[in-house]
Structure 1
Amino acid sequence: MDSVTHTLFGLALYGAVDKKHMKKSQKRAYLLTAVGASQIPDIDVISQLWDNEGLYQMWHRGITHSIFLTPLWAALFILLSFLLFKVKDVKLFFLGWVAVIIHNTSDLFNAWGTGYLEPFSNMRITFGTIPIIDFVFWVILGTAFIASKFNKIKSPSYFKLAWVFIALHVIIQSVQGWMLYNQYEDDYEQIALSAGFIPWTYTVIAKSDSEVNIFQDNLFSERKLQYELTSAEDTDLNGLFTEKPEAKTLSEWSPFVVIVDDGDRIGVYDPRFYRNGQSFLFEYIDKTQ
């Protein structure tokens, strides 16, 4: 998910806590933990500063997003709460733990995926049933924020209800995506999903041999073929991977890639992000004359 959504998740967790009898220092500790722990896995972006081997694509949403690291992040915020606010409260650990788990798990549902099982598996797990920016989340949480302003006494109840609606939205989106995925399994060897910004709409990327078809689809209308792509599967990519290690990383990170060998360039791109004739995840080298 995007940073705004993760921040809203953190604020919604904070809003769901009953703070009637808390001191100001406790409220600050809870706010720091809820919002900070909702953001902390994305600290991996700083790895760009020392990446000189083209590995950032694999590092981002890698080990920092592992489910096995979540209790360590939660413990960090217990420590910060004590150092900054002199607050000792075991509930802060569980709040931070839930916040990090929500961050890491929600990222599984969009096309980017995460290294959820690192360091035991480098596989990028992605369901593709929720867009990276999901405005339905924003509407649900925005409604809870507005409602809480009019009735502060029942404020936690509004946010708890918002979490119920968020869970229902994720379930409905994911069940529909799973049903669509199954419709393509008999005809294609490899399939990937990418949810659209409009609820219940999906891009389905399907590959057989060297042919890749990209469809716009949902359960309530006929699928529409958007693009037909051909992958140059017989191309020797060793030179590309040597000169452009980012290309090798992209090939390992993506569910599958389209290989380009058009006489001018050799490259690979992720077809899940193919729009208007190109993918923004495209690594290539120019052929020497």
Structure 2
Amino acid sequence: MASVFGHSIVGYTITKLIDNQNTKWLLVAAIISAMLPDLDVIGFKLGVPYMHPMGHRGFTHSIVFALIWALVLMLIFGKKHKLIWFLVIFLTTLSHGILDAMTTGGKGVGFFIPFNDNRFFFPLRTIRVSPLGVKRFFSEWGLRVIFSEFKYVFMPCFIIFGIRFLIRPKKDKEFKP
């Protein structure tokens, strides 16, 4: 998996690109949604095998899960801006599996669960896989993950912010990332 830092910056970036209202609660929900799929690691403690549809990188990393989660949050919180809430939450939740499918480890991502239990990776797998657990993350391995994510996740997000700033209409020129 990518680290919580990588997932969070993508959630932040997607929100800032779509939400012109600067809704703080949407930003918080998006960042949480970008990290949410990894709650499936609880399954390890419950004896759920990795490759089970409910295992790690299974259903919670799927397109169906992202759709359901986005609909739930849209209906609960998206009173005035339902479409924006849906798009931001759907894309940030889905971004989690996309990043994980670009990592150097694991057994793939179940994008199509519950319809197809196969796991997938993208051909470009350059993001170092993050260790599970806080202790292991604060190690040489975790440092390599952070450098990898800086290069392949943070820098593209910063470039997107720069482009957004340059092409923004003049009246709305104040940049608030």
**TM-score normalised to structure 2 length:** 0.66
SS at match of 1:16: helix
Verify the 8 A CA contact 1:78 1:93 in the aligned structure 2: yes
Q: Distance in 2 between matches of 1:64 and 1:135?
A: 25
Q: Distance in 2 between matches of 1:67 and 1:18?
A: 22
Matched, 1:125 2:145: no
SS at match of 1:120: coil
Matched, 1:100 2:93: yes
- Look up the match of 1:139: 155
Once the 2 structures are TM-superposed, how far is the Cα of residue 77 of structure 1 from its aligned partner?
Answer: 1.9
Higher helix share: 2
Once the two structures are superposed, the pairs formed by residues 196-275 of structure 1 within 5 Å of their partners are none
Which one-letter code corresponds to 2:31 in the other structure? Answer: V
**Aligned residues: CA RMSD:** 3.2
Matched, 1:153 2:146: no
- Look up the match of 1:196: none
Gaps of 5+ in 1: 160-289
- Look up the match of 2:30: 34
1:214-245 CA-to-partner distances (Å, cap 9, x unmatched) read xxxxxxxxxxxxxxxxxxxxxxxxxxxxxxxx
Which one-letter code corresponds to 2:8 in the other structure? Answer: T
Q: Distance in 1 between matches of 2:121 and 2:19?
A: 34
Q: Distance in 2 between matches of 1:97 and 1:64?
A: 12
- Look up the match of 2:135: none
Q: Distance in 2 between matches of 1:125 and 1:17?
A: 28
Which one-letter code corresponds to 1:138 in the other structure? Answer: F
Verify the 8 A CA contact 1:70 1:100 in the aligned structure 2: yes
Tell me: CA distance 1:11–1:122, structure 2 relative to 1, closer, same or farther (3 Å).
same
SS at match of 1:92: helix
Which one-letter code corresponds to 2:155 in the other structure? Answer: V
SS at match of 2:155: helix
Tell me: CA distance 1:18–1:40, structure 2 relative to 1, closer, same or farther (3 Å).
closer
1:164-186 CA-to-partner distances (Å, cap 9, x unmatched) read xxxxxxxxxxxxxxxxxxxxxxx
Tell me: CA distance 1:124–1:81, structure 2 relative to 1, closer, same or farther (3 Å).
same
- Look up the match of 2:18: 17
Q: Distance in 2 between matches of 1:39 and 1:18?
A: 19
Q: Distance in 2 between matches of 1:148 and 1:68?
A: 30
Q: Distance in 2 between matches of 1:17 and 1:81?
A: 16
- Look up the match of 2:81: 89
Larger relative contact order (CA 8 Å, sep ≥ 6): 2
Aligned length in residues: 145
Tell me: CA distance 1:80–1:18, structure 2 relative to 1, closer, same or farther (3 Å).
closer
Verify the 8 A CA contact 2:7 2:99 in the aligned structure 1: no
1:103-162 CA-to-partner distances (Å, cap 9, x unmatched) read 22232222322111212322221236222343222233346669999x983537xx8xxx
Once the 2 structures are TM-superposed, how far is the Cα of residue 93 of structure 1 from its aligned partner?
Answer: 0.8
Which one-letter code corresponds to 2:94 in the other structure? Answer: I
Verify the 8 A CA contact 1:147 1:155 in the aligned structure 2: no
Moved over 4 A (4+): 142-149
Once the 2 structures are TM-superposed, how far is the Cα of residue 17 of structure 1 from its aligned partner?
Answer: 3.5
Once the 2 structures are TM-superposed, how far is the Cα of residue 80 of structure 1 from its aligned partner?
Answer: 4.4
- Look up the match of 1:202: none
Identity across matched positions, percent: 23
SS at match of 1:130: coil
Tell me: CA distance 1:80–1:28, structure 2 relative to 1, closer, same or farther (3 Å).
farther
Gaps of 5+ in 2: 130-144
